[in-house]
Structure formats: structure tokens, C-alpha cells
Structure 1
Amino acid sequence: MKKIWMIFLVYAVMTLTACASSSSESNKNKAEDAKPIKAIEKVIEKNIPPVEPFRIEKKSKNFLLIGVDSSDEKASRSDTIMFARYEPLEKKIKLISLMRDSYVKIPNHPFKYSKLNHAYNLGGKNLLKETVEENFGVKVDHIAVIDFIGFVNIMDTIAPEGLDVEVSKSMIEDLNLKVEPGKQKLHGADLLSYVRFRHDKMSDFGRVNRQQEVLISLKEKVLDQFSSLEGIAKFPEVIKFTMQNVETDLKFDEAFSLGASFILNPVTDIQTLRVPVSNSFENKYFQHAGAVLKLNFEKNEEAIKLFLNEDD
């Protein structure tokens, strides 16, 4: 059975939930907007100093979050694809789960159209970014990629006591979980099994719901862990460890600033959307791609714009 791996949700919460990073030059030009925090500045000096001092950012940024089944970009496919926007002034995160079987136009693909997750296999994260931008009318500022090993490593670090989730009998039997049906506390490896499960009547749609559920649950775990002085003292090392388990174009000082911003100016609202939206797709089959979701792109792009509060 092909293994399906979930993207690093913890990374999304710790850094992407505060993903309003800007360039070093931009930070210099907007020094008057900076709000340095003495406690964190002392931690920076004592541990791993970022290139730029910590600032609470104000500009919204968009991230493409990619979960893959292998660390080898040429041999893997992206089985989890999320578009995440952080809006610091509104203290909001907006998550759009893009169904991997969406039938989309892939630049330079021999058949022009194929499943969305084929783009990563054909051209890696950059081709997937280009495909998402072209088909869904969004702009990606940064990319984060994680495989199953990174997910388990970070999950066990950020939420060592586990997360409470609802486990069904069919899920327990299929994944060989050592728990009873109902509300259970799952840890790293079992949480990975939980978010990858799709062998019920909901299939990939249920899997997307569980991915979003776990991501939202992690927000409070992050805040709890770093709300004390002891937690803040560990923060630079945790960010460093996180970046060792995630492939991203973020630099350390950017990631540190983003994570610290989230702790000091926490998000109060996480909104989610699944694309394709209801009544905007058909189940189709193409020989070169298999079973796919054939989208009404006009309806879905309009739904995305409305969700992101963007004008034409």
C-alpha cells in the first residue's frame, strides 16, 4: 500500500502562522514599526543570534506547504498541498487545502493537464508553486516541504504528550492503532497515521479535514510550550531543530522572527477552505492521469478570492 505522508503542521504553526517576513533591507527601512521585546532579545544574545533583531511584522504573506512521501524530490510526489496566508494585523491564518487529485494545467507537461500532485514529481517544488499560482490565481511568497520523518520528529518535540483526536473503529483496524474507538491522545507516528488515513467513505476529503484539524489543535500547544521564560529560553534551539527537519527558503532569522511574532501576537482566528469547493467539480477518469477531480476553475478561483478577501 502506497504510503501517504502529511506536511509538517507544526512548522506551519510556529513559523507560517506568523509568516509576515520581509527582507533585511525592508526591515531596516521600517525600523520605526519594530517592537523589540527585551526578554527575547536576551535569549537571542545568549543563544543563536539572528541577522536582524526580532520584530513584529505587519505585512501578510503566503506560503505553499508541501508534504511528500520521500526526501528525494525526483522520486516523490506531493500528497499534501496547502496554501497558507498569515494576516498579522487581523491575527488570522487562512488555510486552503488543495486536493491532490485536482485535474490542473501543469506547465510543460506532455499532456498539458494532470493531477496536481504530479507537478512535484515532474519538476519539484518550483513547478508545483508555478502550477498552483497559474491554476488558482494566488501568489506564493515562500515554500516549506517536509517528509514523514520530519513530521514525526517535530511532532514529538512540540507535542510530546500528543493531541486529542477522534478515532474510528475502521481507522484503528486499517492503521493497526493500539487504542480504543473514540477520543484518544495520539503521538507522533500515530498522528502521522491519523492524518494520512483515507480508507473510509470520505476518502481524501476526510483526510483533508483531519489535516486541518491537527494543524488548528497545534496552535495552543505551541503557545503553551513557549509562554514561560523557560520556554522562551529554548525557543532558538527549537527553531533551529525545526529548520533541520523542513526544507524551506526561509532563513533562520526570518523563521525566528516569525515564530516569536506568533507567540507575542498570537493568532485568534484560523479559517479553512477546501479546494475544489462543493458543487465545483466532477469525478472523471483519464488514461494518462487516472481518477481525477475535474474542476470548474471559475467557481474555485472566485471562492478563493472571496475567502482571501481579494478584489478582482
Structure 2
Amino acid sequence: MRDKRYQHKKSKRKKWKTFVLILFLLFAGTLAYSYYQFKQGVSQSKDKVDTQAIEYEFNGDKDPYGGTSILLLGSDDPGKGNSRADTIMVAQYHPDRGTYKILSIMRDTYVDIPGHGKDKINAAFALGGPELLRQTIKENFDIDLQYYSIIDFEGFIHLIDEAFPKGVEIEVEKAMSAKIGVQLEPGLQRLDGKHLLGYVRFRHDAIGDFGRVERQQKTMQALADQLMSFQTVAKLPKLVGVMTPFVNTNMATKDILYIGKEFISAKNRDIETMRIPVDGSYQDKRISGVGSVLAVDFEENKQAIREFFTK
């Protein structure tokens, strides 16, 4: 009787060991496949990158609201070292609430740049890279940023064409052509990288840069929605690999994959957006040697930001 019990326990232990081994092999196989897909994506894109990415200093802090905050920058050519930021956004992912938010900061916002006096906020990038821009945003708007991510215009074009070979579906609200290098007609259509870049950069109409910021936010939502065409988390490593050569960031690949997986798996994939300065909190001014700027009420905007990131 005792021998039978012993044999039974031995059999159970053997089955359990077999089960654990199978789980381990599946896990190891998944990691190997993901790494292979990631490297395939990198290989697919790296030949289209002309220059080596600059390694920037970035002394970011964790988001005090419990989220992951990323400084998103678009630049005409960050490799030159003196270009201004064409696009300034703060993206926040909050794992506990499952929320995704984008705050756009108007590039003509008139701010104090630490060590350089008052200027448009986009000048901070030219004067000291993403680290000085981080300090500027912290000092003027009390936003902590843990990571940065920069993409230049050529990188944006290649990234869109690689990640969305059929184009990005977007509703173009009006004819656009002035100073964007392409001709866009109104209507729902699929835009390749060059035409989508023209769409998000257009600002030569009655509402100028305000309309451009709206289009940037609209495009970010469209890109997020259409990532669902990839359908499964299994395809995410290759997509991240495709993106990697075009994006200069201090985020680790595992963190990018984690946030991407959470987004694809989420039931609610809506991206909430806000613009700084908020309506009624600024004045248009002209400053000698600087040009047209937005003089903002910082306290009103800081309060709006706190409410946006904590709700």
C-alpha cells in the first residue's frame, strides 16, 4: 500500500516536472521568436537611415501621477544640432487606469528657458536638446518627464511607409499645398509617409498653428487605431523593430513592447488629447527679436494640466 502511494506521488512529480518543462520551452520559444521578429524589423529599416542617432543626455523623473510620461518631438533635422522642435507633445500611459493621453504644447509658447532667458519653447531643443526642453517644460508647466522620443521628417516618412504599406486612412478636411511639398485634396483617403507629413505640417490657413496641432493629434489617434490592423501581439516585436532605426529614444525596447502590448490588448484604446495653452489663457504678442508669440497664463495652464493627467 505504501509502495503504491510512493509510486503515485512519484508519477505526480514527474507529470508536474514535464508540465513545467513544457511551459519553460514555450516561454523560451516565444522570446526567441519575438527577438527574431524584432531583428527582422530592424534589418528591414536600418538601410534607410542616413545618419547615426545622437545620444542625448536626459535626466528625466518619474511621473508623479503614477503614469509613464514621454516627451515626443518632431524635428526638421535633429542631426544638425541646432534645429528647433517642430512638434512638442507629452504622451502619458497610466497602467492602473488604463488611460492614454497626449498633451500638445504650441511651439510659439513664450517661456523661460533655464540659462537662456525668455524665448519660444521650441528654441529650447536647439539650445540644449531634449534635456533643456525637459527642464523648460518642468519649470514652466510643472510636468515631469521620464523618457524622450525624437523623429525627424525623413524618419517619419520612412516609418509610415514601412509600418503602413497601404497608407494611413485620414479625412483631409480641405485642400492643402502651401509650403508642405505636396498637394492634398479634401476627402477620406490613404496617405503615404510624404503626404501624411505634409498633412500634419500644414499651417498656412486662417487658424495657423492651432489647426496644425489639431491635425497632429488627429493623426496620432488614426495611427493608434490603425495599428489594430496588426491584430495580434505576436506582430508587435517586428513593428517595434521597424520603428527603432527611425526613432531616437532613451526608452528600452522591453518598455516599448510592454506599452504597445497593453495598448493592443486594451478594451478602451481611446487617446485623450489636450492643447497648451488652453482656450482663454493666452494673448498673441509680438516680441522684438523673437517674433509672434503666445503669452500664456501659466497658473491657469498648470491647473488644466494637473486635471488632465489625474482624471
- TM-score normalized with structure 1 length: 0.77
Once residues 95 and 71 of structure 1 are traced to their aligned partners in structure 2, the CA distance between those partners, rounded to angstroms, is: 22
Alpha-carbon distance in structure 1 between the residues aligned to 2:86 and 2:127 = 14
Deviation of the 1:226 alpha carbon: 3.7
Q: Is the 8 A contact 2:82 2:127 kept in 1?
A: no
User: Does the C-alpha gap of structure 1 residues 218 and 40 become closer, same or farther in structure 2, counting only changes over 3 Å?
Assistant: farther
What is the Cα deviation at residue 196 of structure 1?
A: 0.2
**What does residue range 103-252 of structure 1 map to in structure 2 within 5 Å?**
103-109=110-116, 112-172=117-177, 175=180, 177=182, 180-227=185-232, 232=234, 234-252=235-253
Shift of 1:174: 5.8
RMSD: 2.5
Q: Which range is displaced more, 167-176 or 93-102? A: 167-176
Same amino acid, percent of matched pairs: 37
Q: Distance in 2 between matches of 1:147 and 1:299?
A: 32
Higher helix proportion (structure 1 or 2): 2
Preserved CA contact (<8 Å) 1:171 1:197: yes
**What is the CA deviation profile of residues 233-279 of structure 1, one whole-angstrom value per residue up to 9, with x for unaligned ones?**
x4323212212111100122222222223223354331110000001
State the match for 1:265 in structure 2: 266
Match for residue 284 of structure 1? 285
Q: Is the 8 A contact 1:91 1:265 kept in 2?
A: yes
In 1, distance between residues paired with 2:286 and 2:205? Answer: 21
Aligned equivalent of 2:69, options 52, 62, 68: 62
1: distance between equivalents of 2:243 and 2:212?
Answer: 24
Could you tell me whether the CA contact under 8 Å between 1:73 and 1:120 is conserved in 2?
Answer: no
SS of equivalent residue, structure 1 residue 146: strand
What is the match of residue 14 of structure 2? none
Change (3 A) 1:287 1:60: same
Deviations 1:119-169 (A, max 9, x none): 001011110011011111111011101101111111112222222323355
The separation in 2 between residues aligned to 1:102 and 1:219, in whole angstroms, is: 27
Contact 2:283 2:295 in 1 (8 A): yes
Superposed CA deviations along residues 23-63 of structure 1, whole A, max 9, x for unmatched, are xxxxxxxxxxxxx9x9886432224189xxxxxxxx52111
CA distance, structure 1, for counterparts of residue 130 and residue 226 of structure 2: 29
1:100 alignment counterpart: 107
Structure 1 residues 161-200: Cα deviation after superposition (integer angstroms, max 9, x where no partner): 2223233554146646455432222111100000000000
Gaps of 5+ in 2: 1-22, 39-65
Aligned equivalents of 2:197 and 2:26: distance in 1? 35
Which residue number corresponds to residue 31 of structure 2?
A: 44
Q: Rate the CA distance shift 1:126–1:175 in 2: closer, same or farther, 3 A.
A: closer
What letter matches 1:62 in structure 2? S
CA distance in 1, matches of 2:273, 2:159: 23
2:30 aligned partner, one-letter code: V
Which residue of 79, 83, 87 corresponds with 1:72?
Answer: 79
| Residue in 2 that maps onto 1:84 | 91
Structure of higher CA gyration radius: 2
SS of 2:166's equivalent in the other structure is coil
Question: CA 1:60/1:266 → structure 2, altered by over 3 Å: closer, same or farther?
Answer: farther
The structure with higher relative contact order (CA 8 Å, sep 6+) is 1
**1:166 & 1:221 partners in 2: Cα distance?**
14
* CA distance, structure 2, for counterparts of residue 80 and residue 160 of structure 1: 24
Alpha-carbon distance between aligned partners in 2 of 1:183 and 1:172, rounded to the nearest angstrom = 17
Amino acid of the structure 1 residue aligned with 2:31: I
Aligned position for 1:56: none
Q: Which ranges of 4 or more aligned residues in structure 1 deviate by more than 3 Å? A: 38-43, 172-180
2-structure distance, mates of 1:68, 1:220 = 24
Q: 1:225 to 1:302 in 2, by over 3 A?
A: same
